[in-house]
Amino acid sequence: MIEPAKFALFIAVSWALILSPGPDMIYVITRGMAHGRRAGVLSAVGVVCGILAHTTAAALGLTLILQTSAFAFLFVKFVGAAYLLYLGIKSWRDRGTFHLQTTASMANSSTLFWQGVLSNVLNPKIAIFFLAFLPQFVDQGSAQITLQMVVLGLTFAGFGLCFLLVVGYSSGTIGRWLTYRPQYAQFFQRLAGGILIALGIRLALTEK
């Protein structure tokens, strides 16, 4: 199974990334402010289901790569490292203000849920992120790589669900707070950027 030290690091990094204002948080806040607390909660559940789809795909696909092809492993490793560095630098340098756009309208439960799912599943950047992120915390020499990836994916999704449910329920308050205090949003953005840069360097130096 996963080494305790690696799992503890994974938990710490996951929470730092989850707390950073990103597309998922902004989406859930926007839906909650536009349609109410119920909409925020349903959108959060939908987004996390999208995360589960990405982590499952990463677990199944990367298991074959890690086990069968040294060249493919190196290719994915360096592409993943480059992408993490790109995301980190972009996040660190971004000086944009936290903005929310809302429109008061009604939407049914099914629509809200599936919009949340699709907002996450149809974002290829999220798929690439998990392909680059999860392998760093897997014991490459283990025969249970798939199980480790699934555990990591479920853990990340579980943390994300807990946080986004709170965000969805409190969407109006959180949205207004971040809008009027952009310095806090920028702090978390830079924190996430620094973490992503460190992860990119760590991934590039990781041996199979």
Average pLDDT of the chain is: 77
**Is residue 189 scored above 70 in pLDDT?**
no
Q: What is the 3-state secondary structure (H, E, C) of 54-107?
A: HHHHHHHHHHHHHHHCHHHHHHHHHHHHHHHHHHHHHHHHCCCCCCCCCCCCCC
Whether residue 120 lies inside any domain: the answer is yes
pLDDT in tens, 21-66: 777 887 788 777 767 788 889 989 999 998 898 888 887 776 566 5
Residue 58 within a domain: yes
- Position 70 pLDDT exceeds 70: no
Report, as an integer, the average pLDDT of 166-195: 73
Residue 12 lies in a domain: no
pLDDT of amino acid 156: 92
- Give domain status of residue 101, yes or no: no
Return the percentage of the chain with pLDDT > 70, whole number.
Answer: 71
Region for residue 69 given its phi and psi (left: phi exceeds 0; alpha: psi -120 to 50; beta: otherwise)? beta
CA–CA distance from 25 to each of 13, 15, 53, 72, 76 (Å)? 17, 13, 18, 33, 28
Q: Let me know if residue 1 belongs to a domain.
A: no
Task: Write the pLDDT tens digit of every residue in 99-130.
Answer: 555 454 556 788 888 888 887 777 666 777 78
CA distance 185 to 164: 16
Domain tally for the chain?
Answer: 1
pLDDT at 27: 79
Question: For residue 163, what pLDDT is reported?
Answer: 94
Look at residue 162 in the predicted model and tell me its pLDDT: 95
Q: Reply yes or no on whether the pLDDT at 88 is more than 80.
A: no
Tell me the residue type at 7: F
Please report whether residue 151 resides in a domain: yes
Enter the pTM of the model.
0.70
Q: In terms of pLDDT, which residue wins out, 193 or 25?
A: 25
Residue 117 lies in a domain: yes
Helix pair 37-68, 145-169: axis angle to 10 deg = 160
pLDDT at 58: 80
Mean pLDDT across the stretch 66-80? 67
Residue 178 sits in which domain range? Answer: 24-95+111-205
- Picking from 7-16, 30-39, 179-188, which range would have the lowest pLDDT averaged per residue? 179-188
Other beta carbons within 10 Å of 14: 19
Q: Is residue 86 part of a domain?
A: yes
